[in-house]
A = this chain, B = another copy of it.
Amino acid sequence: MASRGPVVPRITDVAALAGVSTSTASKALNDTGQLREETRERVRRAAEQLGFTPDSRGRALSSGRSYTVGLITTDSSGRFSIPIMLGAEDALSAGEMALVLCDTRDDALRESHYLKSLVARRVDGIIVTGRRTEPRAPIDVPMPVVYAFSPSSDPAGTSVVMDDHGGAASAVRHLLSLGRRRIAHVTGPATHRSAVVRAAATVAAAGDALIGEPLHGEWSERWGRHAVDVLLRTGEVDAISCGSDQIARGVCDRLRELGRAVPDDVAVTGFDNWSVMALASRPPLTTVDLRLEELGRRTAQLLLEMIGGAAPSGLVSMPMELVPRESTLGT
């Protein structure tokens, strides 16, 4: 065992150094029982000298809680679930709760294995998140669960989701407020719920100002560039609202190559506020911030409330935020 390196000091080591019994040492450190102050102080000094930290697992076992929350994610690339996870971790650590990470890599067998392990560890609750906004099947575990980003298909569960509709509408209202009246919408696949919801909100908010039908394609810069060619073949526009920052960046690049000024000739809006896209775009993008970290924080707060005894909250929709930049405002 010598090669194992440092050893965690135990309460028995503290007791031995202080020359007291283990139960006296325990009382001294927990400020319980009837002890002379001198004894208490001697035990405290011994604990400090050895670098002793009380074992929080004892508290956990006796309280029936583990002060641990599991986070199940299917999103190994992390684009959406990482900020949610960091927000949740921030809210949980403030409550002395640890977050255990479980990356299922979209594999149902891995998910089932992780759920068993989290139940065996007696986590106090579980957060489930994913990479798509489509509802997912609920998990069956004997502790509180909150779904983030990908809601549960069970409306009685607690799910915290983005308000895609409100976000898309805010981008259109921004373009209308700048006097744009020929607005096109370019977005992701019609098989993706987020693209469909954003497109429907755009159609509703733009009214007569919408030019043509929403154009669906990949979530890529390449599709954004191609969509500009499609749009300019069929007529003129003075604004293009896009379903993602990647698409919007491609749109800006192609407009510039064709000699159209952004925003003077055509204003462009993105979606995501993914800084590596939105800020590197020429010009930088007016876009809709998903506020994912805030979504993660709210998810953790609701889970903590449920662990404390609160009833499930159903579907909770979190607002997005329009972030205006040069692609609509100019310099």
- Contacting pair A57 B61 (CB below 8 A): yes
Sorting the interface of chain A by its residue count into under 10, 10 to 19, 20 to 34 or 35 or more gives 35 or more
A269–B9 alpha-carbon span in the complex (Å): 52
In the complex, whether A208 has a CB less than 8 A from a CB of chain B is: no
- Contacting pair A8 B122 (CB below 8 A): yes
A212–B287 alpha-carbon span in the complex (Å): 41
In the complex, whether A204 has a CB less than 8 A from a CB of chain B is: no
- Contacting pair B7 A142 (CB below 8 A): yes
Q: How many copies does the complex hold?
A: 2
In the complex, whether A143 has a CB less than 8 A from a CB of chain B is: yes
In the complex, whether A103 has a CB less than 8 A from a CB of chain B is: yes
Q: Which residues from chain B contact A78 at a C-beta distance below 8 Å?
A: 78, 82, 86
Q: Mark A99-127 against chain B: 1 for CB-CB distance below 8 A, else 0.
A: 11111000000000010110111100000
Residues of A near any B CB (own CB < 8 A): 1, 3-9, 51, 53-57, 60-61, 66, 68, 71, 76, 78, 82, 85-86, 89-90, 93, 96, 98-103, 114, 116-117, 119-122, 140-144, 220-222, 246, 276-277, 280, 306-307, 309-312
- What are some 23 contacts across the A-B interface (CB < 8 A)? A1-B309, A3-B310, A5-B311, A5-B312, A6-B141, A7-B142, A8-B122, A51-B140, A51-B142, A53-B119, A53-B120, A56-B120, A61-B61, A68-B100, A78-B86, A89-B101, A96-B117, A98-B117, A99-B101, A220-B280, A246-B276, A246-B280, A276-B277
